[in-house]
Amino acid sequence: MSTIPVQPPRCVLLDCVRTATEAPSLHNSQPWRFRPRGAMVDVYADPGRRLRVLDPSGREQLISVGAAVFTLRLAIRRAGYRSDVNIFPEPAEPDLAARVTLAHAAAPSTAVRALAAAIGRRHTNRWPFAETPVAADILDALRAAARRERAVLAVAHPAGREAILRLARSADRWLRDRPGRREELARWTAGGTRHDGVPRWAAGLRDENDAIPTRDFAESSSEPRRSAPFEPYPTILVLATAGDRWPDWIRAGQALQRVLLTATWKGLATTPISQPLEVPWARRMLLDPATGLSVQMVLRVGYGGKTDATRRRPIAEVLLPGPHTSAMVPAG
Ligand SMILES: Cc1cc2nc3c(=O)[nH]c(=O)nc-3n(C[C@H](O)[C@H](O)[C@H](O)COP(=O)(O)O)c2cc1C
C-alpha cells in the first residue's frame, strides 16, 4: 500500500517536540536538539551536553536521544499520524541521530493513548518501593515493550539480582574516585534557576541497608542525605541489544522509554541504575558473553509513591531552525 505523505500544522509538530523533551536523560542533561521541517523532524545529539567523565563514548547520551525519539514518535502517533524513523540517515552528519517522517493520518488506538498518557506521569523515583512483587503479566508486558523496539529485557532471578546489585555497588564505589566525576556531578546538580540537571529534592533517599545503590545526586549538597530501608527484594530488569554501536544505542533508548512508559501505564515506579554500565569491567560481567547481547541499562521497578517532574528547557532552546523556517515558537 502506498502512503501519502502528510504535512501537519507546524504547531502540532512543535507540540510533539515539546512532549519529546519530557524523555529521561542522563543527569537530566537533555542532550538533544530538534529540527522540524515539513513532514519530518530531525533529531540531533548535542555534543556540548555529553557527560565526558561518566559517558566518554557517548553511549548514554545516545540512549537519552533514543528515549526522546521514541517519545516524539508516540506523540506524533497520539496526534493522529503514523511515522517512520530512520536512524543516522546522513552519514556526513554524525550528530543527526534520527529522522522521523510522518507517513499518513491514522487515529490513535486506546493503547497508544494510554501509553502516551504515561509520558507526563513518568518520573524517576529514588525512594523506597513497596515489598509487593510485580505481577507476572506486567513483567510480560515490559518484555514485550522491549521486543517491539528490537531489544531484550530480562527479569533478574534472585541470585542474578543479588549479583547485579553487588556489581552496581562496586561500580558506584569505583566511580566515586574517578578524576573529574565530582565536578561533573556538581555541574548537573547545581540547582538554582536552571531548566536542566537533577535538583536536590529529586535525589530521593539512600537505602539504609546499602543494598540498592541509587545514584547520590545530593553528594554536592551540604545537607546530609536522608536514608530509609528500601525494599529487600527489588525487581531488577536488564535491557540489552544485539549490537553495541551508535544505532544500537538509539534503539536501546527507544526501548528504554517504551519500557518505562509501559511500566508507568501499569502503575509501576522506575529507577534507572546505570553505574554498572559506566564501568567497563562491571558492564562485561553483567551478562554471559555467550548470549551475544550487550547490556544497555539496569532498571529497578516496583510500586512507589508519587514523584514530581524535573524541569525541562524551553522548547526554543532545543529547536534548530529549518532551511526555510525560523526557530520562533508561538507562545504557550
Ligand atoms: C541513559 C540514562 C541513564 C540514567 N542513569 C541513572 C542512574 O544511574 N541513576 C538514577 O537515579 N537515574 C538515572 N537516570 C535517570 C535520569 O537521572 C532522569 O531521567 C533525569 O534526571 C530526568 O528526570 P526524570 O526521569 O524524572 O524525568 C538515567 C537516565 C538515562 C536516560
Residue extents of the structural domains in the chain? 10-122, 136-302
Q: Which atom of ligand 1 lies nearest, measured to the CA of 67?
A: 31
The secondary structure element, H or E, covering residue 97 is strand 96-105
pLDDT tops 50 at residue 330: no
- Nearest-CA residue for ligand 1 atom 2 is 26
Q: What is the pLDDT of residue 327?
A: 44
Residue spans of beta strands (DSSP E) within 164-275: 206-207, 227-228, 235-241, 269-272
Topology annotation, domain 10-122:
NADH Oxidase (3.40.109)
Lowest mean pLDDT among 16-30, 62-76, 210-224: 210-224
Q: What is the pLDDT of residue 224?
A: 81
- Nearest-CA residue for ligand 1 atom 21 is 28
**66 Cα to the center of ligand 1, angstroms:** 13
Are 66 and 252 contacting, i.e. CB atoms less than 8 angstroms apart?
Answer: yes
CA distance 228 to 224: 13
Dihedral of the alpha carbons of 113, 115, 318, 322, in degrees to the nearest 10: -50
- Nearest alpha-carbon partner for 256 in 271, 235, 278: 271
As for ligand 1, residues whose beta carbon falls within 6 Å of it are: 24-28, 60, 63-64, 67, 123-124, 126, 198, 214-215, 271-275, 310
Pairing of strands 32-37, 152-155: unpaired
**28 Cα to the center of ligand 1, angstroms:** 7
Q: How confident is the model at residue 274 (pLDDT cuts 50, 70, 90)?
A: very high
pLDDT tops 80 at residue 328: no
Contacts of 162 (CB under 8 A, 6+ apart): none
Are 240 and 151 contacting, i.e. CB atoms less than 8 angstroms apart?
Answer: yes
**159 Cα to the center of ligand 1, angstroms:** 25
Are 53 and 178 contacting, i.e. CB atoms less than 8 angstroms apart?
Answer: yes
Instruction: Read off the pLDDT of each residue in 241-266 and give the average, rounded to a whole number.
Output: 98
**209 Cα to the center of ligand 1, angstroms:** 22
Check if 10-122 and 136-302 are the same fold. Answer: yes
**φ and ψ of 327, to 5 deg:** -85, 10
**271 Cα to the center of ligand 1, angstroms:** 7
For a substitution probing ligand 1, which of 57, 217, 274, 298 has the most ligand atoms within 8 Å of its CB? 274
Q: Which CATH superfamily is domain 136-302 in?
A: NADH Oxidase (3.40.109.10)
Pairing of strands 40-45, 32-37: antiparallel
CA distance 260 to 18: 19
The secondary structure element, H or E, covering residue 302 is strand 294-302
Q: Which atom of ligand 1 lies nearest, measured to the CA of 275?
A: 8
154 three-state secondary structure: strand
Q: Could you read off the pLDDT of 101-151 as tens digits, one per residue? A: 999 999 999 999 999 999 999 999 999 999 999 999 999 999 999 999 999
Query: Residues of 79-92 as b/e, b for ≥16 C-beta within 10 angstroms?
Result: bbbbbebebbeeee
Q: What percent of the chain has pLDDT over 70?
A: 95
**φ and ψ of 24, to 5 deg:** -75, 155
**322 Cα to the center of ligand 1, angstroms:** 30
Joined together, the cell numbers standing for residue 143 give: 518484555
Q: Could you read off the pLDDT of 226-237 as tens digits, one per residue? A: 999 999 999 999
The Cα-based distances of 301 to 22, 139, 148, 282 in angstroms read 19, 10, 19, 21
pLDDT tops 70 at residue 204: yes
**273 Cα to the center of ligand 1, angstroms:** 8
Query: Residues of 214-251 as b/e, b for ≥16 C-beta within 10 angstroms?
Result: bbbbbebeeeeeeeeebbeebbbbbbbbeebebebbbb
Quote the pTM value: 0.96
Q: Which atom of ligand 1 lies nearest, measured to the CA of 61?
A: 1
